[in-house]
Chains A and B, each alone.
Chain A
Amino acid sequence: MSSVVETNKSNLPSSTDEFIKGLWKDNPVFVQVLGMCPVLAVTNTAENALAMGLATLFVLLMSNILVSLLRNFIPKQVRIASYILIIATFVTIIDYVIQAISVDLHKSLGAFISLIVVNCLILSRAEAFASKNGLGKSALDALGMGIGFTFALLCLGAVREVLGNGSIFGWSVFADSFQEWIVMILPAGGFFTLAFWLLLFNYWKERKV
């Protein structure tokens, strides 16, 4: 049994690693520190963070797939313009699709969806990975990075909502006497929380070494 695993290992890592790396080792927020605009702006409640993470995951996956398919067709000189065009297209599509699914969902997400276009995580994955790798790997990379991004947003959103609003996903966690730390919902709270998580991540990394 162990020998089977051993032999499989030699060709497995290449693709599973692409998936795993985005979750933890190369986490887009805590390690690469990419896409800070939504990370700071949209994480004031856990629900917003989760929705933004999932929408980004979709756009990231679709753009990585398309960029990977077209990688031999897109000339080097106009690649960035092409990537932006592709990303903007998928953002527009998800905007319409969400409106068609539910007006309420669109109401709670509307303000952030257009922000996805300028998320440098998506552009950087298109440029650094999908334009150099095949379809399968690019899709796995996008899934890993997208889930890692969603996870990171949730980490920030949960802390900020608990401290700033006394609730998590809208459920109260403290007694009524709890005094909310309004600053945690304000932009400054985003910086504090991000600093706290980066500190924690770097501490873990240092300790491992």
Chain B
Amino acid sequence: MTANIATNRDPAPSGNRWGLPDLGLGVGLRTQHFRHITEKRPAMDWFEILSENFIDTEGRPLDYLDRIAEHYPIAMHGVSLSVGSTDPVDFAFLDKLRALAKRVNARWLGDHICWTGVAGLNGHDLYPVPYTEEGLEHMVERVRIIQDYLERPLVLENPSTYLEFAASSMPEEEFIARLAEDADCALLLDVNNVYVTCRNHDLDPVEYLGKIPADRVVQIHLAGHTDNGTHCIDTHDGRVIDAVWDLYARFTARAGPRATLLEWDANVPKFSVLQQEVAKAARFRGAQPRRRAAA
């Protein structure tokens, strides 16, 4: 992990078109580690928060977040923006996201290329969209509206998908690349999701990866998953497998280093285990991991 936190200044910009920084190596902020992080200030370049966990609440988690944000860069990542929905854009929700982003000085704000509900309902899951020209146009329009309102680019992630629509007229990676270009948004490349999706749909993950526009990728996710034989599920409950590290290495070799985040949301281990796991990413970023003393 880099030595950014000693000064809490962001490092130099990485190779994306917005000049957003390569924050280094981070992990998802989990309640199990709140106390440890605030008391021990462990070595970690940055944290990603799940936005919905910190809106509509003024309790203890928000207090912990305030204290952690004083010492570590924070990026926001959500699950309810539902950019693919046919419901009207929820501007009240965007106001809450914007307020939270201001509160923690979020380096960026993102969500997923999916829908989560229609008719006012929320399935609290990341549902796939048909990859059609009509669907693309619809999503581009919504992403533009949201970005204009938030006055910053959205960082949108490729989700793991477990089904495909017969109506799709283009591959997923083409849809993503064209969405990013037409909406002028940023991308969060989840290489574990690339692996899971390609396993589930008999696709070539290396070919998929090659079509993702590198200059739009601001952040990379790494995670574990569960292989059920007939399909994989993005469970975020364990170490990153070698095949996913390989995808990470391939993309980093092509694009250069990007802010990298380890997701481990279930069966959450001790913080030191997360540190060890995310530190493996350093060998693909052209630098050896450096342990820094707590500031």
A in complex with B: no
